Amino acid sequence: MKLTKAQQQEIKDLKSQENKTKRVIAPELEKILFDAIPILDHGFVRVIDYMGDDTSIVQAARVSYGKGTKKVSTDSGLIKYLMRHWHSTPFEMCEIKYHIKLPIFIARQWIRHRTANVNEYSARYSVLDKEFYLPSQENLAVQSKNNRQGRGEIISGEQAKEVLKLLKTDAERTYDNYETMLNERYDGSVIDEKKSGLARELARMNLTLNTYTQWYWKTDLLNLMNFLRLRADSHAQYEIRAYADVMLDTLKKWVPITYEAFMDYRVGGTEVSSKGKFVIRQLLEGKDTNLEESGLSKREWNELMSAFDLKKKIVE
């Protein structure tokens, strides 16, 4: 991870300030506020600001109570109830803002979550940093044979070295051409005083998707959990999951009661269809059942068996 001198000074200045507030704060989140938490080879996640905590959710759910309840056990029970029954608006009362540095191809995947306010680094206005994401060898894999958007077995040996060399060479070559078209280096120096540089909004089209970008990403707690439920999952792409895992830890520091309920009901729990409920009921009653009688597809059947760790009944 590389921070510019300006960013380092900004973090230092922000962390040194002392502000009094009458708003609720999350003590554990305050400890890491503004810190750049490293992700991948050059990326990071920073919590810039937030609003509300667990008590804000309770207050919103019990709006007629004013400040809500005072007992943590009571708050916990209510938040679990809200999570268990898929209530949403009380969680929307809390918001958080992140500063994130990430590869462009992950940003394009991330932006599909259309439930946040986003302001991205402008390559029309500024020159992008000369930084590219290069995966480690253990994260190089072939295309999965049964998942069109996933990875299969790990690539190793000479083939892995060749892939990494191609990624690095292509990124460096296109960036060199980017500088040539701009007639400007990433440090701000001019290459040839006699030439005019191509407009930045045009020169940027030549860059590879592993080039790093940055953005501010602000969302409410409900939509943050929706994002994390998908992107911190083991089936998510490794690179975006690396960011989600760190953000999951910030969630724990921010709203620990909600985090516990989220991990229990959303991450650790499972949804079962009416047909799935019938299959489980049959098994609990000691009755034999099978895929053909269930009315489930093979994928649905295997997902149900996997969720309840019924490995012997998984259909190949």
Question: What is the domain partition of the chain in residue ranges?
Answer: 5-124+212-267, 137-206, 274-313
Please list the residues that pair with 100 across neighbouring strands: 45, 215
Residue 246's identity, in one-letter code, is V
Residues 5-46: pLDDT tens digits?
Answer: 888 888 898 888 888 888 999 999 999 999 999 999 999 999
What are the tens digits of pLDDT across the range 190-245? 999 999 999 999 999 999 999 999 999 999 999 999 999 999 998 899 999 999 99
**Is the model's pLDDT at 183 over the cut of 60?**
yes
Please give the pLDDT value at position 69.
52
- pLDDT at position 6 is 84
The HSE-up count of residue 246 (CA atoms within 13 Å, CB side) is: 21
Which residues lie closer than 8 Å to 122 by C-beta, 6 or more apart? none
Quote the CA–CA distance of 44 and 54 in Å, as a whole number.
26
Q: What's the whole-number mean pLDDT along residues 154-171?
A: 93
Which residue shows structure tokens 């070295």?
161
Residue with tokens 């724990």: 252
Distance CA 63, CA 158 (A): 63
The whole-number pLDDT of residue 99 equals 97
The residues annotated as belonging to the active site are 231
Instruction: Please give, one letter per residue, the 3-state secondary structure of 255-307.
Output: CHHHHHHHHHHHHCCCCCCHHHHHHHHHHHCCCCCCHHHHCCCHHHHHHHHHH
DSSP state of 211: B
- Return the CATH fold of 5-124+212-267: Gyrase A; domain 2 (3.30.1360)
Residue 305's pLDDT band (boundaries 50, 70, 90)?
very high
- pLDDT, position 34: 96
Please name which of 215, 214, 226 lies closest in space to residue 251, comparing C-alpha atoms.
Answer: 226
What is the rounded distance in angstroms from the CA atom of residue 247 to the CA atom of residue 241?
10
DSSP 8-class letter at 213: E
Q: Residue 89 pLDDT more than 80?
A: yes
pLDDT at 79 over 60: yes
The pLDDT of residue 66: 53
| Residue pLDDT, tens place only, 127-140 | 999 999 999 988 88
Region 103-124 average pLDDT: 95
Query: pLDDT (tens digit, 9 = 90+) per residue, 60-76?
Result: 998 755 555 556 678 89
Higher pLDDT, 81 or 152: 81
- CA gap 223, 88 in Å, rounded: 9
pLDDT grade, residue 311 (50/70/90)?
Answer: confident
Q: Supply the pLDDT for residue 71.
A: 64
Cross-strand bridge partners of residue 132: 211
Tell me the per-residue pLDDT of 253-289, one tens digit each, with 9 for 90 and over: 999 999 999 999 999 999 999 999 999 999 999 998 8
